[in-house]
Chains A and B, each alone.
Chain A
């Protein structure tokens, strides 16, 4: 009835229309329908992911505890040395903390905010290497809610995107769609730390005339309403200052090693806006 050419053209048109429909779903990203769909997907996928994660952990544990005992003796000696060093460092830190507390009292600053945290384990990563997100095994059942900051001792990891009762997806700060209101610790220059999708971030809107140096620490400014002030993001690893243009190009290497990230802390109910450096 129809020629092959007509069929081909019709097929291509149908495909384009189909893709249009599928992509139009993106408009519903903030709707309750979308939220329910995400919850349903995580409900089905996350338990299987956790099953795999537990199995890998178990095999890894067996390997670590039984097959690698040969090197444990040497490792033990090294660790004893490190423990001794850590004890000394800890003692110094305690002294510094006490001094800090006294100085704070002196200048009548507010006491350091005591945030509530929930520890979580990373059980899966994004299916696409071009996007950076993880799944953690704590959800709304542990008081984790949308947009809660996720951290490690090294620095900021990202923020919670979606939650179910047991699990949550977290957008990493290296994802292209994530940004943090940030500032350079040394010079207090403000800008936006935006993920570049390749385990680095860009520090945007830093004026060209302002000084940013390699190895400068970049931290959250607390003005984005998600991340409290003073949490470390990364250090400046590249600065390009062109002859023309308002801004300089600054690359940040995050302190968190996302390749080996296993445990994270979710900051529960962080303050929405911090104008003074409480942390």
Chain B
């Protein structure tokens, strides 16, 4: 039940990114919204449910994208596994940690896609264009990630309450 709700949330985020944000004037330079979701699951939620959501949402993104197969899935998986124990090492506020990890996740995704382009084309594609794109995306992360953190926290709190209530009834 809980995983189904998480998956619907991931689906809505993916649709929001591809159907709404990408149509906005600066939308093509916005970062991948599945990254903060993977970071949130990595930092604050259970391993199994997070893994399922990350794998399925990565798979869906791969299937509707023109990128090589497995790119989104691999990046989201690495982000999810990489930040799993970060909270134990960095004694920072949750919101700040979430923002930092999201920025690192965006960096990782950009590096992965860049490496893939280099490997596929066997040439270095416009480096400055990619650096600019990454900087713009990170700027967006620092502006929007705290808000996304609050939205996700509030959303997950609701889901938890709903699940507890349903479990109590059963």
B66: contacting residue among A46, A56, A175, CB under 8 A: A175
- Is B11 an interface position by the 8 A CB rule? yes
| Contacts from A to B (Cβ < 8 Å) | 15, 18-19, 22-26, 28-29, 34, 37-38, 40-42, 44-46, 48-53, 56, 123-133, 135, 161, 169, 171, 175-177, 197-198, 259
A15 in contact with B66 (CB, 8 Å): no
Chain A residues contacting B70 (CB-CB under 8 Å) are 19, 22-26
Knowing A45-B60, A131-B67, the reply to whether A23 touches B20 (Cβ < 8 A) is: no
A129 in contact with B133 (CB, 8 Å): yes
Interface mask (B56-84 → A, CB under 8 Å = 1, otherwise 0): 00011111111111111110011001000
| Contacts from B to A (Cβ < 8 Å) | 11-12, 14-20, 22-23, 28-30, 32, 34, 59-74, 77-78, 81, 113, 117, 120-121, 125-126, 129-130, 133
| Residue with the highest number of chain A CB atoms closer than 10 Å, among B18, B67, B121 | B18
Nearest B-chain residue to A178, judged by Cβ? B66
B121 in contact with A124 (CB, 8 Å): no
Nearest A-chain residue to B20, judged by Cβ? A52
A15 in contact with B64 (CB, 8 Å): no
Chain A residues contacting B18 (CB-CB under 8 Å) are 45, 49, 124-127, 135
- Kindly state the separation between the CA atoms of A126 and B22 in the bound complex, as whole angstroms: 8
A-B pairs, top 7 by smallest CB distance, nearest first, are A41-B63, A133-B66, A48-B15, A22-B70, A125-B22, A131-B66, A124-B18
B67 in contact with A169 (CB, 8 Å): no
B15: contacting residue among A124, A171, A198, CB under 8 A: A124
